[in-house]
Structure 1
Amino acid sequence: MENGITARRTVLAMALGLAPGLALQTPLAAAQSVEEITVRGHSIEDTVPQDLRNYGSRLEIITAEQLERQSFTDVSQALQMLVPGLHIAPKNGPFDYFDASLQGSRAQEILWLIDGVRITNRLYNGTSPLDTIPSHMIERIEVLKGGQGIFYGTQAVSGVINIVTKSFTRSSDSAVGVGAHSNGGGNINGYHRSSVGDHQFVAYASRDQARGYQPFSDADAQPSATQRRRGYEVNVLGLKYGWAINQDTRLSLQYQHGESELDFSRPFRNAETVNDRIEDIVTAKVDLNVGDNVSLYVKGYFHSWDTRYTRVHNELDDSGQMTGGLQVLNDGSYWGYDDYGLTAVAKFNDGNGLEYIAGLDHQSFSGEDDVWRIADQREKVNAAFLQLRTTEQLLENTSIAVGVRSNRPSNVQNSTVWNLSARHQLSDALYLTTNLGTSFRLPDAEQLFLNELYDADNNGIPDDGWFAVGNPDLKPEKSRNINVGIGGVFGDLQYELISFNRKITDYIDSYVPIVISGVTGESFVNSDDTVRVRGAELIAAMLLSEDWHGNVSFTHTRARLNNAGGQLTSIPDREAKLSLNYEPSGAAWGMTLAANYVGDINERQASTAGNYTAMDISGFYHFGAGDKHRLTLKLENITDEQYVTRVDRATRDTGGTYLYGNLGMHRTAHVGYTYQF
């Protein structure tokens, strides 16, 4: 199969008068129509996102060209700047945890995939899983908005983000690149793609490292924090093999291995804190076409995520002065999980205007944490799903899809969800979309199996008078969602306005009081509270001239518990992204001015963050025979604005606690060079 990608680039509007303080965003693409990317090939799996877009879901695409030209280091930076309606706040720069919200969602309501394999953290599904994913290995990133539980299962409540690595090509294609930045680091990367007869091969590798920057203010740093920079080292190797056994049958094998050392920065007592991580993803897939109307695939995967956590504090005396000694709190403590599964999907076109998609899905997960005391447990989920679609043969200007999925997990209650989506073309210049249905989120291992009971006397009473335990009787969270959109073309302007509304019940409330043996601790329950999310998103594009184009997006969200009180934590009430792109006609260079404005955010510690604008400028220049050489330059956070991405709590050397802000990237210069051959 050839995964050829045809992209009609996106050209977007500047629309500065849309909202006060509207910020600039990097372009979704430098092209002439909104989101027109077609993936061609044998595999049903490869075309699912585009198919769902054609039946009413909003699909955003980030291409490899955008990542390369704008010198993004990791995936989270690209998502932060490029995707409308998606809020990303990296805690301490590249390759770190981040807060995320898609159309007003909580972080645990977004499903993350690599090449269709879920990488969402199964121990803590609110923990962001992208701290080991560099940008150099990526072919494209697909962001599907709205409930997607039919095909993707648990956690696809607000949408799905799928990172597609370098894909197969018929011809040979290779590149090597190097880069450096002013935070004391850089990268080296490369890939090679080729084919021999019916066999295709892909290999890619990269290494990123940095000394990093200090992600908190000097005023928030205690004297006992001797390691104040947050650095990283990330190494990734990927191999792919494809064999076209015959015209209708194809075998694909893939292996990706990553090894990373990721600092965990704190402004107090920190001598060394690091997550030493090894991650492996193995997949095998067979695609088969049976005649012109039937196709199917069977895919198996294995995902291993293993981390050794080391935490060393500087020792303090009773007066809060450093003694010169070290206190080892964790010496390579293990936390990690294994996740494997098998999926079989078939598509049938009856030739009379209807298509049927049916599938079976099995997932098995086991994980443990010696740091936060989650014992080794295994969970299995079996699911069956069916979707019915209309085709142009039945309805020329209207596409309708309806589906249902039945989930049978081993440790919690069963769950059945449904979805109805549609797209109607009113005219060549105007269309309507809708996506409504239900989704679900299974509790994670922490919520089910946590056992933080310090009971050395074995009398059922925690030694320090506090404990936290999981609740194996939890039910899945359930949600009802509806997205309604209107879009079209008006001269050189293209636009889409989307309204989203989501209601979540059986809400899993964290750390509610519980009493064991007369001692009060904390646990998890399905609360009677309801999460309500309402909002709207505007995306527009305009060709300003032959050389200038831009894009703009604005999202407003109201996310409340029981439809009252303040905004839910880590979800901005408003966010805007805008970009201005200059590419002279016939020239080998171009520039992008980009920014991301984030409104008010309620934080976990009864404090606030947000209200900042992160602005970058980047440029590229192609030179040499065949433009095989590319130079990229970027200045990140042009204004060197000091902005808070997350608020945490720290301990003073002399006693007592205080709140401090994690700071986003300070002004950083990047330079890169790539040779393509």
Structure 2
Amino acid sequence: MDFTTASRIALATALFTTIASGAHAQDAGGDDIVVVGQSLEETLPQELSRYGSDLETVTAEQVRDRGSVDVATALQAVPGLYVMPGSGPFSYVDVALQGSRTQDVLWTVDGIRINNRLYGGTSPNDTLPASMIERVEVLKGGESLFYGTQAAAGVINVVTRGFTDAFDGEVAGAVDSFGGTAIDGYARGSIGAHRFVAYASRNESEGYRPYSVMQPSATDRRRGYRLWSVGGKYQIDVAADLRLNLQYQHTDAKLDNLSPARTNRSRNDRNEEIASARLDYTGSDAVQFFLKGYFHDWKTAYVQIRNPVPAGPPITVYPEGTFWGYQDYGGSAVVKLHPHRGLEYLVGYDFQNFNGRDDVLLIGKTSEQVHAGILQLRTTDELSERARLSAGLRHNETAGTKKTIWNVSGRAELTDTLYVEGTGGTSFVLPDASSLYGIDPCCEVGNPNLKAEQSFGFNLTAGGSVALGVATVAWKAGYFHRDVTDLIDATYDDPAFPNGTYVNVDDKVRVRGAEAQLDAALGRDWHVNASYTYSRVRNEGATTQRDRSPAQFAKGAIVYAPVERRFGANVAVSWIGDVYSSPSGFARQNYGNYALVDLGAHVFLDAARRNRFGINVENLTGEDYATRGFGSAAADDGGRFLYFTRGVPRTLRVRYSLGF
């Protein structure tokens, strides 16, 4: 960190400490007031939803009842979100949120950004077990105002186990039909002004064959994983209105990284550290703030050994320990001011420092700093309890790039059972280091002249609820619209780059679509939900859908969860429509048009509901489906062959947990 950066962070720390000291001093002469509140950062998704953003939340109970192993399986419950793990648990994912690409969605863990600047699509799915999840929050639509670049189509925030005043916890173990085992647990509680959470998990599996076709030369044929995670949180009430939060998480993972031909051994060994410190002041309606610093370090030791064709000793392509990784650290501060009736103001500053390199795909060491200022104006319930409006600006500066984006949003509750809401604004996505500087002769070559993508979009939604006898039905229908200029994509039409390069697409990319949802509570015991999403993603003037963008998909679930009984069950169905990919040397392929069915059941073995036994079947019908489309590779006979990455086969999983 240079002197200028250190000075800025020190100045921000001093400023906010002064504000906190002054605010606390004003309260010192009066009665002692204990305010139990949450950070502005923790409540940001809920606050944004009050002002028109579309928020979906997955609870810890939903994660447990679905038998989720990792983040991706937990996210299957989110209406309107297409998420496909590349090759089973703890692998990269393909995501589409309102017609987006994977790299248009920002992933965070407890508010800490996980996307890296080497590659835009990295998610926490390959290093975060589902047992650590308290909830997952998904914001749909452009959310660049507070979350910055890569939130062009939305945000997925994974919240790990939270604080409680009463002591509780759980230990659990699970096995599945592919040799998978999991042991996990957590404990949390408080002692006086001190609160704590500790959690740990170990997951291991031999895995399944990840490709539809594998050449005889591939002798390592099952994608396995072995993963350790441990984390902890600490919170102390420094004063009645001032709270300090500390967090740390470590993950050590060994993840097979296979290919359908010639693989003798190929693995990514991960070592990840996530840490943060946050100071929250929530004691005054006139002034609230948070000040946060974070650190995210991701190191991978890669190895790839290939079998020769036709015969011979193994060939070391990348020796064990070949490095790729990155480090991201920074800080943010947001103040909420309510100086007069009817309006409140949020003022913030965001700093990010990124550096990384890749000795596998040959990206030299790169670094980047981002400074951003944030301003948002909101109406309050003093002006209207049924209508809320907000407008904001964010100014970003990086080396050679200055961008200002804007956002407006609003929500109106027309009656107690009917509302309308909407958001609109601009976003931008910077090119990642791979598309700028990649020089690996096997793959697409980077283009240092790429421009940042820019987009304008808006969402309009209407929703409400209606009582039908013993049933209460909540409904929601919405339209989304996004135009992207200078979209970055790979091209293989330039003879100078036979393996491809990256360009800014000349034509504007237009995204249009709609979503519909129903959520019905049938008495106290039954719950039914269904959702449907249609998206039209095309280059301007084109008649075909862009690759890896599902045109339609739908989800539904039936849950039986009686409060008075010890037994519960659920069934979830998802249907994927047309999705296309364009493998090199072959015609365009449709890898969609299939349905998946998952079943789950659980029983509490005691009246206190502490001993729980669960059983889940993923992909009940044994559908052999593709997750990331078709690819092509060199065959053992010298030609090329077509294959697809397989989704999870039928898998039986049983789990026992003991709560305390």
Same fold (TM over 0.5): yes
8 Å contact kept, 1:121–1:129: no
Q: 1:232-243, aligned counterparts within 5 Å?
A: 232-243=225-236
Amino acid at match of 1:345: V
Query: Match of 1:451, SS?
Result: coil
C-alpha separation between the residues in 2 aligned to 1:563 and 1:440? 23
Does the residue aligned with 1:434 lie in a helix, a strand or coil? strand
Residue in 1 aligned with 2:40? 44
The alpha-carbon deviation at position 470 of structure 1 amounts to 2.9
2:596 & 2:342 partners in 1: Cα distance?
49
1:361 to 320, 325, 350: 350
- Structure 2, gaps ≥5 residues long: 1-34
- Is contact 2:611–2:656 with CA below 8 Å preserved after alignment? yes
Task: Tell me the SS of whatever aligns to 1:307.
Answer: strand
Match of 2:13 in 1: none
Residue 414 (structure 1) aligns with:
402
**Residue aligning to 1:110:** 105
Is 1:347 aligned with 2:336?
A: yes
> What SS class does the counterpart of residue 550 from structure 2 fall into?
coil
Match of 2:604 among 615, 622, 625: 622
- In structure 2, the partner of 1:84 is 79
1:536 corresponds to which residue? Answer: 514
User: Contact 2:488–2:502 (CA<8 Å) still a contact in 1?
Assistant: yes
What SS class does the counterpart of residue 83 from structure 1 fall into?
A: coil
| Aligned residue number for residue 675 of structure 1 | 658
Contact 1:100/1:570 (8 A) holds in 2: no
Aligned ranges for residues 509-658 of structure 1 at < 5 Å?
Answer: 509-511=489-491, 522-584=500-562, 586-605=564-583, 606-624=588-606, 626-646=608-628, 647-658=630-641
Q: Secondary structure at the match of 1:341?
A: strand
Contact 1:578–1:594, Cα closer than 8 Å, also in 2: yes
Deviations 1:219-264 (A, max 9, x none): x221111111111111101011111100111111111000001111
Kept in 1, the 8 Å contact 2:71–2:128? The answer is yes
Matched, 1:227 2:205: no
Contact residue 510 and residue 523 of structure 1 kept, 8 A:
yes
CA distance in 1, matches of 2:476, 2:36: 26
What does 1:322-341 correspond to in 2, within 5 Å?
322-323=311-312, 325-331=313-319, 332-341=321-330
CA distance in 1, matches of 2:601, 2:94: 28
* Deviation, structure 1 residue 88: 0.8
3-state SS of paired residue (1:136): helix
- For 1:175, the equivalent position in structure 2 comes to 170
- TM-score, normalised relative to structure 2: 0.91
Q: Is contact 2:566-2:607 (8 Å) kept?
A: no
Please tell me whether residue 96 in structure 1 is matched to residue 91 in structure 2. Answer: yes
Question: Which of residues 466, 482, 485 in structure 1 aligns to 2:458?
Answer: 482
Does structure 1 residue 257 correspond to structure 2 residue 233?
Answer: no
Alpha-carbon offset, residue 414 of structure 1: 1.1
TM-aligned CA deviation for residue 511 of structure 1? 4.2
8 Å contact from structure 2 (residues 85, 92) kept in 1: yes
Q: TM-score, normalised by structure 1?
A: 0.88
Code of the aligned partner of 2:127: T
Aligned partners of 2:492 and 2:498 also within 8 Å: no
Contact 1:512/1:525 (CA < 8 Å) preserved in 2?
A: no
Q: Which amino acid aligns with 2:243?
A: R
In 1: Cα distance, 2:463 partner to 2:38 partner = 31
- The structure-2 alpha-carbon separation of the partners of 1:594 and 1:468, relative to structure 1 and needing over 3 Å to count, comes to closer
Deviation at 1:543, TM superposition (A): 2.4
Taking a change above 3 Å as real, the CA distance of residues 292 and 546 of structure 1, as seen in their structure-2 partners, is closer
Answer yes or no: is the 8 Å Cα contact 1:532–1:563 preserved in 2: no
2:65 to 45, 55, 69: 69
Distance 2:365 2:55 in 1: 38
C-alpha spacing 1:625/1:551, structure 2 compared with 1 (3 Å): closer
The answer to whether the 8 A contact 2:233-2:245 is kept is yes
Query: How big is the shift at 1:382?
Result: 0.4
Aligned residue in 1 for 2:476: 496
2:624/2:647 contact within 8 Å kept: yes
Give 3-state SS (helix, strand or coil) of 2:329's partner: strand
CA 1:203–1:655 in structure 2 vs 1: closer, same or farther (change >3 Å)? same
Write the letter of the residue equivalent to 1:283: S
Distance of aligned partners of 1:238 and 1:431 in 2 relative to their CA distance in 1, 3 Å threshold: same
Amino acid at match of 1:670: R
Q: Is the 8 A contact 1:40 1:47 kept in 2?
A: no
Residue 268 of structure 1 aligns to which amino acid in structure 2? A
CA–CA distance in structure 2, aligned partners of residues 495 and 447 of structure 1: 41
2:498 & 2:647 partners in 1: Cα distance? 38
User: Cα gap change, 1:40/1:477 in structure 2, threshold over 3 Å: closer, same or farther?
Assistant: farther
* Separation (CA, whole Å) in 1 of partners of 2:384 and 2:36: 23
- Deviation of 1:514 after TM superposition, in Å, equals 6.4
CA RMSD of aligned residues (A): 1.8
Residue-by-residue CA offset, 1:166-215 (whole Å, 9 max, x unaligned): 11111111110000000011100011112111111111000000001112
Give, in whole Å, the separation in 2 of the partners of 1:118 and 1:235: 21
CA contact (8 A) 1:415 1:476 kept: no
Q: Distance in 2 between matches of 1:231 and 1:520?
A: 33
Q: Deviations over 1:612-650 (max 9, x none)?
A: 111011011112252111111011111111111122222
Alignment partner of 1:446 is 2:434: yes
CA distance in 1, matches of 2:84, 2:498: 35
| CA distance, structure 2, for counterparts of residue 399 and residue 252 of structure 1 | 31
Cα deviation, residue 512, structure 1: 6.2
Count of residues paired in the alignment = 616
Shift of 1:497: 0.1
Specify the code of the residue in structure 1 equivalent to 2:591. A
2:154 is the alignment partner of 1:159: yes
Aligned pair partner of 1:435 in 418, 423, 435: 423
The secondary structure found in structure 1 opposite 2:463 is strand
- Post-superposition shift, 1:578? 0.3
> CA 1:389/1:263 → structure 2, altered by over 3 Å: closer, same or farther?
same
CA contact (8 A) 1:363 1:381 kept: yes
How far off its partner does 1:521 sit? 7.4
Shift of 1:515: 8.3
- Among 119, 122, 131, the alignment partner of 1:136 is 131
**CA deviation string 1:523-544 (max 9, x = no partner):** 4333332111000000111123
User: Any idea what the Cα deviations from partners look like across 1:33-66, whole Å, max 9, x if unmatched?
Assistant: xxxxxx9723100110000001111111111111
3-state SS in 2 of match to 1:470: coil
- Is the 2:464–2:476 Cα contact (8 Å) retained in structure 1? yes
Q: Partners in 2 of 1:291 and 1:665 — Cα distance? A: 51
Deviations 1:361-397 (A, max 9, x none): 0101001011111100111110001011001100221
Amino acid of the residue matched to residue 197 of structure 1? G
CA distance, structure 1, for counterparts of residue 151 and residue 185 of structure 2: 33
Aligned residue in 1 for 2:8? none
- State the identity as a percent: 44
In the superposition, relative to structure 1, how do residues 661 and 527 fare at CA in structure 2: closer, same or farther (>3 Å)?
closer
8 A contact 2:60–2:133 mirrored in 1: yes
Tell me the distance in 2 between the aligned counterparts of 1:535 and 1:479.
16
Letter in structure 2 aligned against 1:617: L
Partner of 2:55: 59
What letter corresponds to residue 478 of structure 1 in structure 2?
Q
Q: Which AA in structure 2 matches 1:70?
A: R
Distance in 1 (CA, whole Å) between partners of 2:47 and 2:377 is: 12
CA contact (8 A) 2:83 2:93 kept: yes
Question: Which position in structure 2 is the counterpart of 1:463?
Answer: none
Letter in 2 for 1:247: A
CA distance in 2 between counterparts of 1:509 and 1:175 reads 46
Contact kept in structure 1, 2:208 and 2:224, CA below 8 Å: yes
1:25 maps to none
* 8 Å Cα contact 1:574/1:600 also seen in 2: yes
Question: Which residue identity is paired with 2:121?
Answer: G
Question: 3-state DSSP class of the match of 1:446?
Answer: helix
Unaligned runs of 5+ in 1: 1-38, 455-465
